[in-house]
């Protein structure tokens, strides 16, 4: 059953929270992070993207970068920009986007749960990205950023959270530059903490929604510390890592779309003819067309939008992977027609999060950078959970969760 642990969070003073909180390390490249943190000494990007404080030609995976992370972290603590709570608490982190608010419980997940499969994942991780975050965790001895988990909603937990939020003022309450509202409460009442933890013990599995590499890195470093400690007894802080747990019925997965650089030698007419053997193809004109249901896609090609509806027999509704639209597109179009075999390594394809809108697809094709764009109907939470439960792995770049967690509201120390 799922482990949830209270911890002594390391948090910023209220007056600098808006300046300190940052977007996650993996949604910004170095130049974007450097620009975003410009003139802001409080930004957590100085710790999670420390290359911004080194010469621009610095190798982001070199030892000086990790040492800069450690040094900046120490500076934040010494300057009182991060202060540790005196007791172990749970926290509530809520986000508001487009008038909808989702409420997550911030606490530590268990390394053993990850190693034993109680924490389920739906994506493959890359060793190089794992090792990068592992080095960061090792040198800071902390989980600087939370991972994004979900769990099957429990009405009793929902009620505890709703009552607490209703009767208590948030510790932090601000709107970030992207218009997302961030609200954060500290649960200091030990009876409430014990109740939430006991209810989590009845949850059979939790699921990684976003942050697979951070999750793997945090769990692997914790397991590494366990193996290296001859006096290990199980309750050391390294046995746990920072996570925000959201009930599954509050989350929304948005579309994750594809753009391709060429048509593999096909003319547009030949490409459409080949697509006609897989889909019912309908021209939609110059107005943006968004997929309306599962197995319906949109294609943007040479200034026109098309509706593509997969023919029966091109998918398998009884197969958790075979039913996915990304599987249909990857197998029958990207692989068989366009000869794009490995989505993780091919330089002929790129991925565009749905938060950017379908206008971004049109822009990249109209510019001549890309030859065609495909928009997909979003994966559902039920599909994600079914895949994780069956032990399957989704194709690359399948899910896009929005809003992203803000980093820096609370940090977890491993000692």
108: pLDDT strictly greater than 90: yes
Q: Across all residues in the chain, what is the average pLDDT?
A: 95
| Rounded distance between C-alpha atoms, residue 361 and residue 258, angstroms | 8
Of the chain, the percentage scoring pLDDT greater than 70 comes to 100
pLDDT reported for residue 124:
80
Q: What is the pLDDT of residues 46-83, one digit of tens each?
A: 999 999 999 999 999 999 999 999 999 999 999 999 99
Q: Is the pLDDT of residue 123 over 90?
A: no
User: What is the band of 302 on the pLDDT scale with cuts at 50, 70, 90?
Assistant: very high
Instruction: Please report how the helices 190-200 and 155-167 are oriented relative to each other, as an axis angle in degrees rounded to 10.
Output: 160
pLDDT at residue 286 tops 90: yes
Q: What is the DSSP letter of 332?
A: I
- Provide φ and ψ at 184, rounded to 5°: -140, 125
For residue 125, what pLDDT band results from cuts at 50, 70 and 90? confident
Tell me the domains of the chain and their CATH numbers: 10-252+403-413 (no CATH), 256-377 (3.30.1760)
Contact 125, 216 (CB under 8 A): yes
Q: What is the DSSP letter of 248?
A: G
Asked if 381 and 108 touch (Cβ cutoff 8 Å), the reply is no
Sheet holding 372-375, edge to edge: 279-285, 304-310, 296-301, 372-375, 256-260, 349-353
- Tell me the pLDDT band of 142, cut-offs 50, 70 and 90: very high
Please name which of 307, 393, 313, 396 lies closest in space to residue 350, comparing C-alpha atoms. 396
Residue 101 contacts residue 94 (beta carbons within 8 Å): yes
Calpha distance 14→326 (Å, rounded) = 43
**Cα four-point dihedral sign 79, 80, 82, 86:** positive
Q: What is the pLDDT of residue 393?
A: 87
Helix 63-78 with 127-140: angle, nearest 10 deg: 40
Task: Indicate if the pLDDT at residue 247 is higher than 90.
Answer: yes
Q: What is the mean pLDDT of residues 316-339?
A: 93
């Amino acid at each position: 059953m799922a482990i949830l642990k209270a911890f002594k969070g390391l948090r910023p003073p209220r007056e600098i929270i808006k300046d300190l909180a940052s977007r996650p390390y993996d949604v910004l490249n170095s130049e974007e992070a450097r620009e975003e943190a410009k003139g802001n000494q409080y930004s957590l990007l100085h710790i999670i993207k420390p290359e911004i404080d080194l010469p621009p030609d610095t190798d982001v995976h070199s030892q000086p970068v990790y040492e800069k992370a450690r040094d900046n972290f120490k500076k934040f603590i010494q300057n009182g920009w991060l202060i540790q709570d005196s007791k172990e608490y749970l926290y509530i982190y809520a986000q508001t986007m487009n008038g909808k608010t989702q409420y997550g419980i911030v606490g530590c997940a268990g390394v053993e749960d990850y190693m034993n499969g109680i924490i389920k994942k739906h994506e493959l991780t890359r060793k190089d990205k794992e090792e990068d975050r592992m080095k960061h965790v090792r040198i800071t001895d902390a989980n600087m950023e939370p991972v994004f988990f979900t769990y099957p909603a429990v009405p009793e937990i929902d009620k505890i959270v709703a009552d607490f939020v209703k009767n208590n003022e948030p510790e932090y309450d601000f709107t970030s530059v992207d218009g997302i509202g961030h609200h954060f409460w500290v649960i200091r009442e030990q009876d409430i903490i014990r109740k939430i933890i006991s209810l989590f013990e009845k949850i059979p599995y939790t699921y990684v929604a976003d942050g697979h590499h951070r999750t793997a890195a945090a769990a692997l470093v914790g397991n590494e510390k366990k193996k290296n400690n001859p006096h290990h007894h199980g309750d050391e802080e390294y046995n746990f890592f920072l996570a925000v747990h959201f009930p599954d019925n509050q989350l929304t997965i948005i579309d994750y779309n594809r753009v391709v650089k060429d048509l593999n030698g096909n003319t547009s007419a030949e490409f459409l003819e080949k697509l006609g053997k897989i889909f019912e193809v309908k021209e939609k004109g110059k107005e943006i067309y968004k997929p309306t249901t599962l197995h319906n896609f949109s294609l943007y090609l040479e200034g026109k939008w098309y509706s593509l509806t997969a023919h029966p027999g091109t998918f398998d509704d009884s197969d958790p992977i075979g039913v996915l639209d990304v599987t249909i597109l990857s197998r029958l179009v990207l692989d068989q027609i366009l000869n794009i075999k490995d989505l993780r390594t091919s330089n002929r394809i790129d991925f565009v999060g749905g938060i950017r809108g379908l206008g971004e697809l049109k822009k990249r094709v109209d510019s001549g950078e890309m030859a065609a764009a495909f928009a997909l109907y979003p994966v559902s939470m039920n599909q994600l959970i079914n895949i994780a439960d069956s032990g399957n792995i989704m194709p690359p770049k399948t899910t896009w969760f929005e809003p992203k967690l803000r980093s820096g509201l609370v940090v977890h120390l491993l000692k």
